[in-house]
Structure 1
Amino acid sequence: MNAYPNRDRNNPQELGIALLIEMAQCGEIDPWDVQVIDVIDRVLSELRTRSADASQEADLSESGQAFLYASMLVLLKADRLLESPEANPADDDFDEAIPELDDSGSDRAFPLRLEKQLRRRAVARPPQQRRVTLQELIEQIELMTETIAKTPKTSPRRRMNSLSRSKTARAIAQLAHQENLSEVADGLEQFLVNHWSKITQGQDWLDLEQLLASQPQNDRVGVFWALLLLSAQSKVELAQEEFYQDLKIRVPIG
C-alpha cells in the first residue's frame, strides 16, 4: 500500500520518492542507511516496465531525467563520505613501534635498525562509510525537482519548426550552389579552351594564381571547385608537388 497516494507515479520525480517509501515500508532498504545504487537500479527497472506503453520520446525523456537524478544522488553519497571524520592512521601504526628514551635522555635505547621494528598493519583500513538516510534522499530529489522546474524549457514545436527551416535553407543553398558550380565550371572550360595558348604562353602547365589573375571576378573558391569538377570529368589535369603548395593545371590535348 502506498503511504502517499497523492504522488503522481507517471512523473519520474514522484515515482522515485514513491519507490523509496515503498521499499522502506517493505523492508527492502534501511531508512537510516540507504544503498543509493540499489535504489537507482530499482527505479530504472520500473521505468523499463512502463516503456512499452509510452512513446519513444517520453521514454527517452524519463530515462534521461532518471540518469540525471542518479548522478546527483551518487554525488550526494560521495559528499557525505568526504564530510565524515577520518582517523589519524599514524596513531595506530607507530605508537608501539617507538621506544621511550632512557632517563638520561639519550637515544641509545633505539634499536640499530629501526625500520625492522615498525609494526605494520596486517590488513587494510576499512573503507570510509557515511550513511545516507531516506529523508536525505527524498529532500535531495525534491530539491532537484524544484531546480528543474525553474529551468526554462524550449517549446518542442518551436524547436522542430526551427530545425525544419534550417534544413530547408541548407537544401536551397546546396541546390543553388550546385547549379552555380555547374555554370562556373562550364564557363571556366570555355575560357581555358579559347585562351589556353595565350595565358600559358607555350607552357604545358598553368599555375592557379595565373589563372585567377586572368579571371575578371577572381573568385578563388568558385574557380577551385570548378577545377575539381572539371578534373573529375577528365577535362583538366591537376598537379601539386607538395601539400599546401602551388596547384598546377593542364588541359589534355584532344
Structure 2
Amino acid sequence: MIILTGVGDVKTAIESLKHGAHDFILKPVNVEELLIAAERALERRELLIERREYQVTLERRVEEATRDLDAAYTKLQDTYRATLEALGSALDTRDVGTQSHSRRVHGYSLSIARTHGVPGHQLEDLEQGVLLHDIGKIGIPDAILLKPGPLTPEEWKIMRTHPEIGKRLIERIPFLRGAVPVVWCHHERWDGTGYPRGLRREAIPLAARIFAVADAFDAMTFDRPYSRAISFAAARTEIHRCAATHFDPAVVATFLSIPESLFEDIRRRSLEP
C-alpha cells in the first residue's frame, strides 16, 4: 500500500507507516517516484512472503526434530529400563530362591509409591533402586550367599556389608545415583534397629521405607530355602503388626489400602516368560 497525500506533516507519515503503508508520497505525484515506490513495495511484499514461508518451514522442521528427539529419548529410556531389569534378573539368579524377586518387588514398590503420592521424578529413582537393590551382593562370597543353612555371626557380619558395597558401586555412575537411597538403606528399620547405619524414622529415605514394605511382603509370600510362603492376607497382617517397629506406619497404611488383587496381578505377570 502506497499513500498519496497532500498533507505533508511528519505525524501523518508515521501513522500511515504504522498502519501498514509501504511508502508515503506527497502530491503532486512524480510518476518516476511513484514507480520506484511501487517497486519497493513489491520487493517488501516478496520479502515478507519469503519470510513467512521460511518461518512455516522452520516451525515444521523444529516439530519434526522434536518428534525425532522424543522418539529417540523414549527408545533410550526403554533400552535403559530393559538393561536394569536384565541386571536385576541376573542378580536374582545368583541368590538362591529369589527368581523374579526384582520384578515382583518392582511392581509392588511402584504401586505403593504411586498410591502414597510420590512424584514422577522420584518414582524413576525408586525404580532404579528397586532393580539394583541387591547389587552389592556381587561382593559377597558364594560360600556365604549360597549357603543353604543358617549363617554364623561372622558370616552375617559379612552379609550385612552388601548395602555399603552396592552404594560404593553405583554412586560413581552419575545416571544411577538416584538409586543410592534404596541400595544403601533398604535394610534400615523405622525403630533404628536396621543396618548398615541404624537410621531411624524419617532419616531413612522414603524410597527405602517403601521398598522395605514391598520387599518384606514378597519375602513372606514366596517360597525360600529357609521359609515357606504364607498367604497374602497373613503377610499383610504381619506387616501391619510390624508398623512403627520395622516399617514406616504411614507407608504401611498406604500398602494396606491397596486391593490384594493388584498384588496378585503383579505376581502373576512376574512369573510370565
Structure (1/2) with the larger helix percentage = 2
The TM-score, its normalising length taken from structure 1, stands at: 0.28
Structure (1 or 2) with the larger CA radius of gyration: 1
The TM-score, its normalising length taken from structure 2, stands at: 0.27
